[in-house]
Amino acid sequence: MAAVRAPSHPRRRRPARYGALALLRHGLSGRDWPRAWPESPLRGRYDVVIVGGGVHGLAAAYYLAVNHGITDVAVLDQGYIGGGGSGRSTAILRSNYLTPEGVRFYDRSMQLYRTLAADLDYNVMFSRRGHLTLAHNDSSLRTMRWRAEVNQLQGVDSEVIDPAEVKRLVPYLDTSAHPRYPILGALYHPPGGIIRHDAVVWGYARAAAARGVSIHQDTEVTGIDVAVHSEGGGKVRGVRTTEGDIATPVVLNATAGWSTLVAAMAGVRLPIATFPLQAAVTEPVRPFLHAVVVSGTLHVYVSQTDRGELVFGASVDPFAAYSTRGTLEFAEGLASHVIELMPALSKMRLLRQWSGLCDMTPDFSPIMGGTEVEGFYVDVGWGTYGFKAGPVSGEAMAKTIASGQPPEIIAAFALDRFTAGTLVGEKGAAAVGH
Ligand SMILES: Cc1cc2nc3c(=O)[nH]c(=O)nc-3n(C[C@H](O)[C@H](O)[C@H](O)COP(=O)(O)OP(=O)(O)OC[C@H]3O[C@@H](n4cnc5c(N)ncnc54)[C@H](O)[C@@H]3O)c2cc1C
């Protein structure tokens, strides 16, 4: 794989600081804030074109600029940045996965998230509050023990706790023996939490643009030009867009729910099916829920935002589709399951529900790295769990593009694992808890 060389003088523009002093100065002066990033005309050539302005595409652009000095980069989005899965995510962060490869990978993202606000000069509202995955039967209790062991071996803080400890952490949970599915214990992961998803996207966009990356919204990629080799495979030459053609030797596909459509433009097939995932939010109430709670058996999870709303989610809809409509079945199922867990919530009102697209792989792990087409990279297969991986994926994909080789941390997630049969099975840790 070819590496992209950094220019000797990367372009830099200093963005307005978002510190307390600047806030005070702007408040007193009544002046408008400057644009978070400048608009620039789309050029006919870039060193790197990133398709998809979600957390993954923007993080890759940011780390290309910051870690490798590669700034001749365009991020293209068919809509607005964060308008895909990133802006629809319930933004749960955790690293308590099932496989050593998964735990190591997501834990690196947690490390990057911890300092992200300072790194980006943007308040991303990371709230570390603990994450509980409830076990309602013996087999899920066994899986929780397994996950706790794998987590601890990788240095990640997770343990199995009993119902009394669950009750102490979340007093509103019904831990009695009465429910249809009594709570037998839980996997407790103290570093887990939530974050403000829009802020992460905007923070990466602003910081990448400040280092010279161009961001183009309303710019749909409609084709990818590949010079086909006679012996098979090929080499990327450029992309076609609704705003004009661009020559480039490197294209990164970071389009989540649309990833198979964009890969097909380069002649690359991905083992991915696209499913809708729904979520919902209630009216705000006084803070009472200080942990993220997931129940795989009841297909539901819940957290409380800093504004007091309860955010609920579930597993993907049962049919592959590109629809982003909310359904009554989802709202009904969700409400009955949540009330089973926390009967006191029966009087709360749902304000809104929404849906996003998830690109599901057979092993519930992502696909990252190069493809049989030289210069065509993928960062896809993010299913229902990709928001938390934005920083580590951006860092790893930037390194892959800059050096031509994937770093060790994503080696297990290569596309060829599906032909080699070396799957990274994460279904037990990623089917409901995102
Ligand atoms: C309801 C819901 C809840 C979720 N909850 C969580 C959670 O709690 N924790 C977690 O870790 N993950 C969660 N996820 C998953 C997570 O949101 C996604 O995996 C992640 O946001 C994917 O980010 P991305 O940058 O790869 O893709 P996206 O944010 O989807 O960005 C892809 C972008 O590509 C653009 N695009 C597509 N095709 C083209 C084209 N041809 N040309 C140009 N642009 C194109 C789209 O407009 C889109 O903006 C959730 C997802 C949903 C839907």
What is the tens place of the pLDDT at every residue in 157-199?
A: 999 999 999 999 999 999 999 999 999 999 999 999 999 999 9
Rounded Cα–Cα distance for residues 392 and 390 (Å): 6
Answer yes or no: is pLDDT of 13 > 80: no
Q: Which one, of 368, 403, 413, lies nearest residue 67 by Cα?
A: 403
Q: Kindly state the tokens that stand for 117.
A: 């606000």
Query: Of all atoms in ligand 1, which is nearest to the CA of residue 388?
Result: 11
Residue 271 Cα, ligand 1 centroid: separation in angstroms? Answer: 18
Q: Kindly state the tokens that stand for 235.
A: 């080499």
Rounded Cα–Cα distance for residues 144 and 137 (Å): 11
Rounded Cα–Cα distance for residues 429 and 434 (Å): 8
Cα 391 to its chain centre, rounded Å, is: 9
Q: Which one, of 213, 221, 226, lies nearest residue 243 by Cα?
A: 221
Rounded Cα–Cα distance for residues 257 and 359 (Å): 5
Per residue in 392-403, pLDDT tens?
Answer: 999 999 999 999
Instruction: Confirm or reject: Cβ of 56 under 6 Å from ligand 1.
Output: yes
Residue 92 Cα, ligand 1 centroid: separation in angstroms? Answer: 14
Residue 85 Cα, ligand 1 centroid: separation in angstroms? Answer: 3
Answer yes or no: is pLDDT of 432 > 90: no
State residue 4's pLDDT score.
78
Rounded Cα–Cα distance for residues 111 and 119 (Å): 12
Q: How confident is the model at residue 8 (pLDDT cuts 50, 70, 90)?
A: low
Answer yes or no: is pLDDT of 2 > 60: no
- What is the SS3 assignment for 368? strand
Answer yes or no: is pLDDT of 103 > 60: yes
Q: Are 56 and 394 within 8 A, CB to CB?
A: yes
Q: How confident is the model at residue 34 (pLDDT cuts 50, 70, 90)?
A: confident
Residue 255 Cα, ligand 1 centroid: separation in angstroms? Answer: 7
User: How far apart, in Å, do the first and last CA atoms of the chain sit?
Assistant: 33
- Summarize the confidence of residues 266-273 as an average pLDDT: 97
Answer yes or no: is pLDDT of 346 > 90: yes
Instruction: Confirm or reject: Cβ of 382 under 6 Å from ligand 1.
Output: yes
Instruction: Confirm or reject: Cβ of 400 under 6 Å from ligand 1.
Output: no
Instruction: Confirm or reject: Cβ of 370 under 6 Å from ligand 1.
Output: no
Per residue in 201-235, pLDDT tens?
Answer: 999 999 999 999 999 999 999 999 999 988 777 99
Tell me which amino acid residue 216 is. H
Answer yes or no: is pLDDT of 16 > 70: yes
Answer yes or no: is pLDDT of 428 > 60: yes
State residue 18's pLDDT score.
83
Answer yes or no: is pLDDT of 7 > 80: no
Per residue in 281-327, pLDDT tens?
Answer: 999 999 999 999 999 999 999 999 999 999 999 999 999 999 999 99
Per residue in 404-418, pLDDT tens?
Answer: 999 999 999 999 999
Query: Average pLDDT of the chain?
Result: 95
DSSP state of 415: T
Residue 257 Cα, ligand 1 centroid: separation in angstroms? Answer: 7
- Summarize the confidence of residues 107-115 as an average pLDDT: 98
Residue with tokens 């589709």: 321
State residue 172's pLDDT score.
96
Q: How confident is the model at residue 23 (pLDDT cuts 50, 70, 90)?
A: confident
